[in-house]
Chains A and B, each alone.
Chain A
Amino acid sequence: MKTPRPASARLRDAAMLLPAIGTFLFLPPAITLFVGTGTLGGVPLIVLYLFGVWLVLIACAAVLARRLADPPPATDPPPATDAPPSDEAPAREPNA
């Protein structure tokens, strides 16, 4: 009975993780995996890897930026009463 996270929260998490993933891929030791004498179409593998990861990051950022809507104003005050939100919970069942 897990309530699915809203898509925007998922996108926000992805946007936060993207630079971390990029950092991981660009820094040793990950990048040293592709150091070698191998070539693909005459171009050294490490060059392809470097520019390939770069391009993928750009593509991901473009997709995320396009889909990431502005968050709702986070200044919404919390509900004044401490009543448990049980009234609303069933309404958000993912049946719709």
Chain B
Amino acid sequence: MLSANVVLVTALLYVALLFAVAFVGDRRARTGRLGWLQSPLVYTLSISVYCTSWTFYGAVGSAARNGLEFATIYIGPTLVFVGWWVLLRKIVRIAHTQGITSIADMISSRYGKSATLAALVTLIAVVSTTPYIALQLKAVATSVQVISNSGPDTLPGNVDAAPDFHVGFWIAVGMAVFTILFGTRNIDAKERHHGVVAAIALEAVVKLVALLVVGVMVVFGVADGPERIFAAASPEILHAQDAFGPRWVAVTFLSAAAVICLPRQFQVTVVENVDEGHLRTAAWLFPLYLFLLSLFVLPIAIAGVSYLPAGTDPDMFVLTLPIWASRNDIALLSFLGGFSAATSMVIVACIALSTMISNHIVMPVALRLRWVSHSASGEIRRFLLVSRRISICVMLLLGFLYFRFSGDSGALASIGLIAFVGVAQVLPSLLGGLFWRQANVGGALSGLVAGTLLWVYTLFLPSFGSDLILSPQTLAAGPFGIELLRPQALFGLDNFDPLVHAMFWSLSVNTLLFVLVSLARDARPLERLQGTLFVDVFRTPAATAAGLLRRSATTDDLRLLAQRILGDDAAQRLFEQAAQQQGRAHAAPIADDAFITQFERTLAGSIGGASAHAMISQVVTGETISLDALVRIADETQRIREYSHELEVKSRELEATARQLGEANERLRRLDVEKDHFLSQVSHEVRTPMTSIRSFSEILLDDRRLDAAQRERFLRIIHEESVRLTRLLDSTLELNLLEHGETPWQQVPIDPELALDNSIGVCQVLAAGARVRLIEGERARGATVEGEADRLSQVFINLISNAIKYNTSEAPWVRVSSRLDHAAYEVLIEDNGPGIRADERELIFSKFRRGWAHTQTSTPGIGLGLAISWQIMRRLGGSLTLVERSGPGACFKVRLPYPQPVT
């Protein structure tokens, strides 16, 4: 039980604390003692303005109604931040190099600094943020009512009375004061609002701690551990069966889009970013923050549904559970948490929107209508500050009015999602602008306009509830009774959740128009320049970019402009700095391209890219964009890409070539060894008969006393040896011809059986002489192969005679058989001789290998027969192999394929 006074005093004390923190933060920043203000932790905490009162109260409400669906709101941002390397890093880098001040400025700068585009995006942002601010006012007003109304018997939360608009109004006033005090100190949006950031960081901690404390109280105080909580409710509460439908995907996507495109998120994540490296920390710390915030949402929702009386507003469970459990201290902390969530969102959103309104709507109008004096120095600066302060008040007033008139329609979550779909309209233009060079202002404009109109018609207007703008009749039957145009079933797309329906139509039409118009239209030079600078931000050096835009101006004109916009002091500093950089101390800087570009960027930081460009254009002459240079930059990046690709291909080719060279080298080396071996073999073979010829002829010459018989014997030996020598040389020549002969043989159809019969006939005599039984095995008649009968006979004879000659067994036999299979004709020549030793098998067909060298026979061969036979079979297209088998003896197989049918 808390009295209204206690609540009021606590709230005021807390607000005073916030003011103090903001004041100290600002003070420290001014005196240059930034310290923790610039730490990645504070940066991450400031990003948590994503979690508004919608999170604080609404997540539990959503969980109580739709189960797990609440998590999608946090999963989307988690994915974006976890993937910071892809998207956020690029956006932040561009914002740093281009001096971007808001999401509208980002879009407008990308598309040729278009003022129209900037105004349009600002308008979308204002329209979609207004209900969001209203939502915060409503949440705080309701929470004040709930916590101060509390009594022991009438449980709060089921307050049926209308929201307290007085509370809402005074809260709005308080936030306006805070935002104006700390949010509009200077006009350069890039100069960080350190005071605000410090207060936001404190609020981020308070809301996290509050929700965790309530969660722990529920799980371990009210219930007894998580299993009790989940046991208390039926599993139906998770809606696990129906949660993962189109709505799950849609809301995940929307929340991912929102965490980039929401004006306040863009403000804290991109504009207020001091150091790109801080993203590195936020990449995991912010998802962790979201994780912790979501951790107790389900238990709190379940506890609320299970323990609190039926009819209690689920959106207030975070507050009503502690009151129900009589823990007033926790209730108060929870109230402050919700208060923090709401105020931090409103403050940052107002700063972001006021910058956008003053830069992109008020300033261009003022310049055109000449509201601001052109002569007085610092005039524009004062004008800007005033317009920003007024914008803040207008935004809060709009929010309050929405709150006042939409009353209590809709749960918190649905209002937030309406805003999400609204800002998501910016996404196609943003992503397209970041990654697609061809995207241009025409596409962006048409896509945004169409998407926004569809969003307004299908989602925003229907959200006002009955008969404010769209009557229930229009909703049900379509405007003027045209069924096809029903806002929530456009073109007959029925049976869809209104949110999914609106998202589908607005975003798909938006994207389609953006792409089609971009393809159909040529970009202006300035668009192409900006497109290149955005898309290739990581590849284009700043120095190259500066030289792209050529223009000239007098230094005096620029100085005048600077004084009007920035004020005397700031202008003086800017020019002194530039002069120093140019090495011209104590003189005016030269207004060269680089200086003008830098000057424009400085102005853009204050008044936005479009306005800055418009103002500079008034004083410069002959603005040209060097298209050649632009094309060169684009080509350069292309070239780098191609070059690295080429490099890869080349190195692969090199690798392949090196491998081939290595193989060739190895082959050559083997051939060389073979050749040496062959030469030494031939010499050896020649030497033996030569030696005997020489020695016998010497004897014949020297010794005259030899008788006729002896002479004849010696002469016969000499003759035999020379015949042997000739045979050796003939064989060598033949082998050489076989191996290297290029002339093809005349292959004609022959009957191989005839050749085999012939060979057997020739060998009969030899077999008889050696007492070897020559057995004819099974024969397969009738085959026709292509070849040369003589050559084939030569192979057969060689094999059969070898088998006969080297057979040393007791009862020697040689069997010759032939057979046909589906592809070839085969002859097998077997014997029961000593066989081929296992270690010889591999080499049996090489030159000078006598497979039977281990046998003691009287007639040593020259060792070329098998090699020649093998070569002949190769030339005939067949093969000669040694059949692996057990048992004694050897078995050679001659195989000749049938001729291929001519096709």
Q: Hey, what's the 0/1 contact readout for A1-36 against B, CB within 8 Å counting as 1?
A: 101000000001001101110110011100110011
Q: Hey, what's the 0/1 contact readout for B283-315 against A, CB within 8 Å counting as 1?
A: 110011001001100100000000000000000
Given the complex, which residues of B lie within 8 Å of A43, measured CB to CB?
A: 226-227, 230
Q: Nearest chain B CB to A29's CB is how many angstroms away?
A: 8
* B226, closest chain A residue (CB): A43
The contact of B78 among A15, A54, A78, A85, by CB within 8 Å, is A54
Q: Hey, what's the 0/1 contact readout for B623-656 against A, CB within 8 Å counting as 1?
A: 0000000000000100110010001001100110
Given the complex, which residues of A lie within 8 Å of B231, measured CB to CB?
A: 42
Q: Is B68 an interface residue (CB 8 A)?
A: yes
Given the complex, which residues of B lie within 8 Å of A55, measured CB to CB?
A: 291
Bound Cα distance A79, B650 (Å): 15
Given A28-B249, A61-B287, check contact A54 B654 (CB 8 Å). Answer: no
Given the complex, which residues of B lie within 8 Å of A59, measured CB to CB?
A: 284
The contact of B226 among A28, A42, A77, A85, by CB within 8 Å, is A42
* A71, closest chain B residue (CB): B538
Given A19-B82, A22-B82, A42-B226, check contact A65 B283 (CB 8 Å). Answer: yes
Check if A68 sits within 8 Å of B280, measured CB to CB. Answer: yes
Q: Is B79 an interface residue (CB 8 A)?
A: yes
Check if A62 sits within 8 Å of B284, measured CB to CB. Answer: yes
Q: Hey, what's the 0/1 contact readout for A39-83 against B, CB within 8 Å counting as 1?
A: 101111011001100110111111011101011001101110000
Check if B227 sits within 8 Å of A42, measured CB to CB. Answer: yes
Check if A50 sits within 8 Å of B82, measured CB to CB. Answer: no
Q: Is B81 an interface residue (CB 8 A)?
A: yes
Bound Cα distance A20, B540 (Å): 28
Q: Which positions 224-238 of chain B face chain A at CB distance < 8 Å? A: 225-228, 230-231, 235, 238
Bound Cα distance A54, B284 (Å): 11
Check if B71 sits within 8 Å of A50, measured CB to CB. Answer: yes
* B75, closest chain A residue (CB): A26
Check if A65 sits within 8 Å of B651, measured CB to CB. Answer: no
Given the complex, which residues of B lie within 8 Å of A12, measured CB to CB?
A: 85
The contact of A78 among B68, B226, B283, B640, by CB within 8 Å, is B640
Check if B240 sits within 8 Å of A23, measured CB to CB. Answer: no
Given A28-B249, A44-B240, check contact A19 B226 (CB 8 Å). Answer: no
Q: Is A84 an interface residue (CB 8 A)?
A: yes
Given A27-B249, A85-B647, A89-B654, check contact A58 B284 (CB 8 Å). Answer: yes
In this complex, which of B78, B81, B298 has the most chain A Cβ atoms within 10 angstroms of its Cβ? B78
Q: How many residues of B contact A (CB 8 A)?
A: 53
Check if A54 sits within 8 Å of B287, measured CB to CB. Answer: yes
Check if A26 sits within 8 Å of B79, measured CB to CB. Answer: yes
Given the complex, which residues of A lie within 8 Å of B252, measured CB to CB?
A: 26-27
Check if B249 sits within 8 Å of A16, measured CB to CB. Answer: no
Q: Is B541 an interface residue (CB 8 A)?
A: yes
Q: Is B9 an interface residue (CB 8 A)?
A: no
Check if A31 sits within 8 Å of B82, measured CB to CB. Answer: no
The contact of A15 among B85, B291, B294, by CB within 8 Å, is B85
Check if B227 sits within 8 Å of A47, measured CB to CB. Answer: no
* B643, closest chain A residue (CB): A78
Q: Which positions 59-85 of chain B face chain A at CB distance < 8 Å? A: 68, 71, 75, 78-85
Given the complex, which residues of B lie within 8 Å of A15, measured CB to CB?
A: 83-86
Q: Is B169 an interface residue (CB 8 A)?
A: no
Given A27-B248, A42-B230, A55-B291, check contact A61 B81 (CB 8 Å). Answer: yes
Q: Is A37 an interface residue (CB 8 A)?
A: yes
Bound Cα distance A20, B280 (Å): 18
Q: Nearest chain B CB to A63's CB is how many angstroms away?
A: 9
Check if A65 sits within 8 Å of B280, measured CB to CB. Answer: yes
Q: Is B539 an interface residue (CB 8 A)?
A: yes
Check if B85 sits within 8 Å of A35, measured CB to CB. Answer: no
In this complex, which of A18, A26, A79, A84 has the most chain B Cβ atoms within 10 angstroms of its Cβ? A26
Check if B230 sits within 8 Å of A16, measured CB to CB. Answer: no
Q: Is B281 an interface residue (CB 8 A)?
A: yes
Check if A89 sits within 8 Å of B651, measured CB to CB. Answer: yes
Check if B655 sits within 8 Å of A16, measured CB to CB. Answer: no
Q: Is the interface of B mostly helix, strand, loop or mixed?
A: helix
Q: Is A95 an interface residue (CB 8 A)?
A: no
Q: Is B36 an interface residue (CB 8 A)?
A: no
Check if A50 sits within 8 Å of B68, measured CB to CB. Answer: yes
Given the complex, which residues of B lie within 8 Å of A41, measured CB to CB?
A: 226-227
Check if B539 sits within 8 Å of A75, measured CB to CB. Answer: yes
The contact of B75 among A3, A36, A54, A61, by CB within 8 Å, is A54
Q: Nearest chain B CB to A53's CB is how many angstroms away?
A: 9
Bound Cα distance A16, B84 (Å): 8
Given the complex, which residues of A lie within 8 Å of B655, measured CB to CB?
A: 1
* B72, closest chain A residue (CB): A26
Q: Nearest chain A CB to B840's CB is how many angstroms away?
A: 38
Check if B85 sits within 8 Å of A16, measured CB to CB. Answer: yes
The contact of A65 among B78, B235, B281, B654, by CB within 8 Å, is B281
Q: Nearest chain A CB to B33's CB is how many angstroms away?
A: 27
Check if A58 sits within 8 Å of B238, measured CB to CB. Answer: no
Given the complex, which residues of A lie within 8 Å of B371, measured CB to CB?
A: none
Check if A28 sits within 8 Å of B230, measured CB to CB. Answer: no
Bound Cα distance A87, B831 (Å): 62
Given the complex, which residues of B lie within 8 Å of A19, measured CB to CB?
A: 79-80, 82-83, 86
Given the complex, which residues of B lie within 8 Å of A47, measured CB to CB?
A: 68, 230, 238, 298
Given the complex, which residues of B lie within 8 Å of A22, measured CB to CB?
A: 78-79, 82-83
Q: Nearest chain B CB to A49's CB is how many angstroms away?
A: 10
Given the complex, which residues of B lie within 8 Å of A60, measured CB to CB?
A: 82
Q: Hey, what's the 0/1 contact readout for B34-74 against A, CB within 8 Å counting as 1?
A: 00000000000000000000000000000000001001000
Bound Cα distance A59, B284 (Å): 7
Given the complex, which residues of A lie within 8 Å of B903, measured CB to CB?
A: none
Check if A51 sits within 8 Å of B295, measured CB to CB. Answer: yes
Q: Is B244 an interface residue (CB 8 A)?
A: yes
Check if B287 sits within 8 Å of A75, measured CB to CB. Answer: no
Q: Hey, what's the 0/1 contact readout for B186-225 against A, CB within 8 Å counting as 1?
A: 0000000000000000000000000000000000000001
Given A22-B82, A44-B230, A65-B281, check contact A74 B75 (CB 8 Å). Answer: no
Check if B75 sits within 8 Å of A31, measured CB to CB. Answer: no
Q: Is B241 an interface residue (CB 8 A)?
A: yes
Bound Cα distance A93, B636 (Å): 29
Given the complex, which residues of A lie within 8 Å of B650, measured CB to CB?
A: 84-85
Check if B80 sits within 8 Å of A28, measured CB to CB. Answer: no
Q: Nearest chain A CB to B272's CB is how many angstroms away?
A: 20
Bound Cα distance A35, B236 (Å): 12
Check if A68 sits within 8 Å of B85, measured CB to CB. Answer: yes
Q: Nearest chain B CB to A2's CB is how many angstroms away?
A: 9
Given the complex, which residues of B lie within 8 Å of A3, measured CB to CB?
A: 651
Bound Cα distance A35, B653 (Å): 52
* A30, closest chain B residue (CB): B244
* A40, closest chain B residue (CB): B227
Bound Cα distance A19, B651 (Å): 33
The contact of B291 among A39, A58, A71, A89, by CB within 8 Å, is A58
Q: List 15 A-B contacts (CB under 8 A).
A: A1-B659, A15-B83, A16-B85, A19-B79, A19-B86, A22-B78, A28-B248, A32-B244, A44-B235, A44-B240, A46-B68, A47-B298, A54-B75, A65-B84, A78-B643
List the interface of chain A (C-beta within 8 A of B). 1, 3, 12, 15-16, 18-20, 22-23, 26-28, 31-32, 35-37, 39, 41-44, 46-47, 50-51, 54-55, 57-62, 64-66, 68, 70-71, 74-75, 77-79, 84-86, 89
3 tightest Cβ-Cβ pairs between the two chains A and B: A42-B227, A19-B83, A62-B284
| Beyond A27-B252, A47-B298, A86-B654, 15 extra complex contacts between A and B, CB < 8 Å | A3-B651, A15-B86, A16-B83, A19-B80, A32-B244, A35-B241, A43-B226, A44-B238, A61-B82, A61-B84, A64-B283, A68-B280, A78-B640, A79-B643, A84-B654
